[in-house]
Structure 1
Amino acid sequence: MKSLLVIILSFISTLGFAQKIAHQKIFSEHLGEARDIWIITPSGYDSGKTYPVLYMHDGQNLWYDSLAYAGTWQLQENLSVLEKEGLELIVVGIANGGEKRMAELSYYYNPDHSSGNGKDYLSFILEEVMPVINSNFNIDKDKVGIMGSSLGGLISIQALAEFPEVFTVAGIFSPAFWFNPKTIEREYLEKISSDTRIYMISGAKEVYGEVDFPKDQVKAESVLTDVLTQSQFKSLIHEDGEHKEWYWAREFNDAIKFLFKWK
């Protein structure tokens, strides 16, 4: 597997940025199909150092306009700014399953939607993607993060609760708690390790009938402030925030600095 990744790295397109991006397809027994992943490494990657790693959902929307269906997170631009500030990390973008996205990005069943395959999706990350990353890159095992928006935010906080021994930080952007309401119950959120760091945001404009993203975030916040200290948990609701990539791209760097630039 390492030799395969080396070959892939030789065909990187940097698109004018200093970071390097490798693309790979990994066949998943858990998902029953091959899935695209993209690995972005710092411009000054040094095999003698260890790096934080961030696993991100909806990989199609992270940096390539040609793949994105609703704009991108401008990851290369954002990571370039962070590098100039001395913060380097490895980002692993994992493609969503298209029409399978709802099912894969929800750990629990929702009777009104295709849902509840999040266990298989997270097993894919833990058992099939992580071994590839860990065997090819020097990873700081104390700084393993997960991040996503909407359903990606939902499955990220579920990953913290279900696998607290693996994920130490999480960026929870506009989380779709309405899809699996159990996720914001006290009994569930208290499964999250007290050593975790969480950065959570939503926009005041993210209210759609009975679905109220900021209201649900406040419910989660009321529990997480009891689980985590103020230095470990930040929750923000922005007046201009919308359920769109431009918003998540704008807030990415502040989240990363809170999550990773602390020791």
Structure 2
Amino acid sequence: MLLLVVLPVSAPAGAQPDPGARVGRTVADARLHGYRFERLSVASADGQRHYRVHLAVPAGAMPARGFPVACMLDGNAVLMALEAPLLEQLAASARPPVLVLVAHDNDLRIDGPARMWDYTPRRGEGEGEEFDASGNGRRSGGADAFLALIVERILPAVRQRVALDEGRRMLWGHSYGGLFALHALATRPGAFTDYVAVDPSLWWGEGFVVGELERAARRPPSLPARLLLVRGAPAASSRDGPAGPGGRGAGNAEAGRRLDAVLAELPGVEVQRLRLPGLGHGQTLGAAIAPALLSLAVDD
């Protein structure tokens, strides 16, 4: 099912967040009535990479099936964008979600080299090192290991602290994180029930993730899933960040046309589209948090 939702936005498109900002005081430091915050430390299977997980747990009574859970990438950036009124609204809902904000273990809002490795899939066969095709020298191709870390280490650690509803598990990502969410949907669709891709970097690898979805469409239907595809203004979706090379616009447009076609054929996936007109690429991160979490909080 394809739905088109357009939200009016008045924020100026030029007011982009600073990707080099550092985490300061956030909603996790405030006195909240509806949520409590905890922090977990998790290492990769080989011990080489370290992550901090900001865990927001509803303070009210647990629903009979447990709490829905939203696993959100770029966890420091999401934490910096979260606001108390949204958490209060979620806490008052029928089924408030547990928030699992996965960040790299530093105070950076966005850790560019680390997310390039963790959020991008391998493009070739074998185990040799791969590097981003844009020529920035950053290693790429660690998405499968990172997805396994989330599913096999982070979420089990959360389950030890709070009961989760296994029927509502969301994976949320922006930009390269949106690319990662689509990769997870294509390659490990049963890992989550809900996928949110916010202004995903479809241009990456010449539309590599769209090719993965095209191959997935030819396989037998898997477990049913929901996909929320969020996009900003056309100019926002044409690049990955304010310094993106000009060629990314054409790549995103072509990959976007292919994505639209494959989503119409992808078995078992219910698709929603959310347009955020007037917002630049960086702004869509914060603007897409509330719609996704509120959709998870409804009683189905």
> Same fold by TM-score, threshold 0.5 exceeded?
yes
* Separation in structure 2 between the aligned mates of residue 49 and residue 115 of structure 1, nearest angstrom: 38
Q: What are the residue-to-residue correspondences of 1:242-253 with 2, within 5 Å?
A: 242-244=280-282, 246-253=283-290
Instruction: Indicate yes or no: 2:272 matched with 1:234.
Output: yes
Q: What are the residue-to-residue correspondences of 1:14-163 with 2, within 5 Å?
A: 14-18=29-33, 19-30=35-46, 32-46=48-62, 50-64=66-80, 72=81, 74=82, 76-96=84-104, 98=111, 99-109=113-123, 110-111=132-133, 112=135, 113-163=138-188
Distance change in 2, residues 1:30/1:152 (3 Å): farther
One-letter amino acid matched to 1:170: Y
Unpaired runs of 5+ residues, structure 1, are 1-11, 65-71
Aligned residues: 242
* Separation in structure 2 between the aligned mates of residue 13 and residue 115 of structure 1, nearest angstrom: 31
Q: Secondary structure at the match of 1:132?
A: helix
Distance change in 2, residues 1:162/1:146 (3 Å): same
Which residue matches 1:199? 228
Which residue matches 2:260? 221
* Separation in structure 2 between the aligned mates of residue 31 and residue 143 of structure 1, nearest angstrom: 30
Q: Secondary structure at the match of 2:179?
A: helix
Higher relative contact order (CA closer than 8 Å, sequence separation 6+): 2
Partners of 1:31 and 1:124 within 8 A in 2: no
1:42 CA displacement: 1.2
Distance change in 2, residues 1:16/1:35 (3 Å): same
> What do the CA deviations read for 1:162-192 (whole angstroms, capped 9, x no partner)?
2112211011101011113221125235268
Distance change in 2, residues 1:161/1:75 (3 Å): farther
Root-mean-square deviation (Å) = 2.7
* Separation in structure 1 between the aligned mates of residue 216 and residue 203 of structure 2, nearest angstrom: 15
Between the aligned residues of both structures, percent identity stands at: 19
Distance change in 2, residues 1:29/1:194 (3 Å): closer
Q: Secondary structure at the match of 1:178?
A: coil
Distance change in 2, residues 1:234/1:161 (3 Å): same
Unpaired runs of 5+ residues, structure 2, are 1-26, 106-110, 124-131, 240-245
